[in-house]
């Protein structure tokens, strides 16, 4: 087992207690309960990763108790002028590489549609760096059915995640 120490948690999902259907400014500032579910805030996330020398790890558990992880050796988030553009690469792990498809994408929220999907706003219910509406989002609805938290390369689109934590640290 690889231990990821000295890290900052970006987002944690454990029980659905926090509403992730928030506007641009709330995602920018951050929200939630640091002991349960939260989003760190895009402004702080940019500050933490701006030197370009960070990595990120995502730990996932499904409703059957199966666990997987994805680690990326390169991770940065741009500033507000770039709409918090995601730069990610260098996958390793056993969850499958779902996040690389989101490389180079701007952050979207229900009130700020910056995704690449031409037929609507993938962020209608939660903020994320959306490539398409079904691929990966750790901020979607916490449930097993409708638009769930997912990591497509693990079990496919629509397969729900029970526990998710995304964290970053300097290399």
What is the average pLDDT across 134-142?
83
What DSSP string runs through 44-68?
HHHHHHTTS-EEEEEEEEETT--EE
Distance (Å) of CA 133 to CA 11, 17, 118, 137, 161: 19, 23, 11, 9, 16
Band of residue 135 on the pLDDT scale cut at 50, 70, 90: confident
The closest alpha carbon to 162, from 10, 12, 13, belongs to: 13
- Are 76 and 82 contacting, i.e. CB atoms less than 8 angstroms apart? no
Does 52 or 41 have the greater pLDDT score?
Answer: 41
What is the separation, in whole angstroms, between the first and last Cα of the chain?
18
The pLDDT value recorded for residue 1 is 45
Token look-up 């989003």 returns: 39
User: DSSP characters for 75-98?
Assistant: EEE--GGGTS-EEEEEEEESS---
- Rounded to an integer, the average pLDDT of 8-37 is 96
Which residue ranges form the domains of the chain, and what is each CATH number? 8-170 (3.90.215.10)
**Structure confidence by residue, pLDDT tens digits, 50-68:** 988 999 999 999 888 999 9
The stretches of the chain forming alpha helices (DSSP H) are: 24-29, 42-49, 152-155
DSSP 8-state class, residue 120: S
CA–CA separation, 138 vs 148, rounded Å? 9
- The pTM of the full predicted model, rounded to 2 decimals, is 0.91
């Amino acid at each position: 087992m690889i231990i990821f120490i000295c890290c900052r948690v970006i987002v944690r999902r454990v029980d659905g207690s926090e509403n992730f259907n928030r506007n641009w400014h709330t995602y920018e500032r951050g929200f939630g309960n640091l002991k349960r579910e939260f989003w760190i805030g895009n402004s702080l996330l940019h500050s933490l990763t701006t030197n370009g020398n960070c990595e990120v790890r995502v730990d996932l558990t499904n409703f059957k108790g199966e666990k997987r992880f994805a680690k990326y050796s390169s991770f940065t988030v741009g500033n507000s002028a770039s709409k918090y553009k995601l730069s990610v690469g260098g996958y390793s792990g056993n969850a499958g590489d779902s996040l690389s498809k989101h490389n180079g994408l701007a952050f979207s929220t229900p009130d700020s549609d910056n995704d690449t999907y031409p037929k609507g706003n993938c962020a209608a219910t939660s903020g994320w760096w959306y490539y398409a509406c079904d691929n990966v989002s750790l901020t979607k609805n916490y449930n097993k059915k409708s638009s769930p938290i997912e990591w497509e390369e693990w079990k496919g689109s629509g397969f729900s995640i029970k526990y998710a934590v995304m964290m970053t640290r300097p290399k």
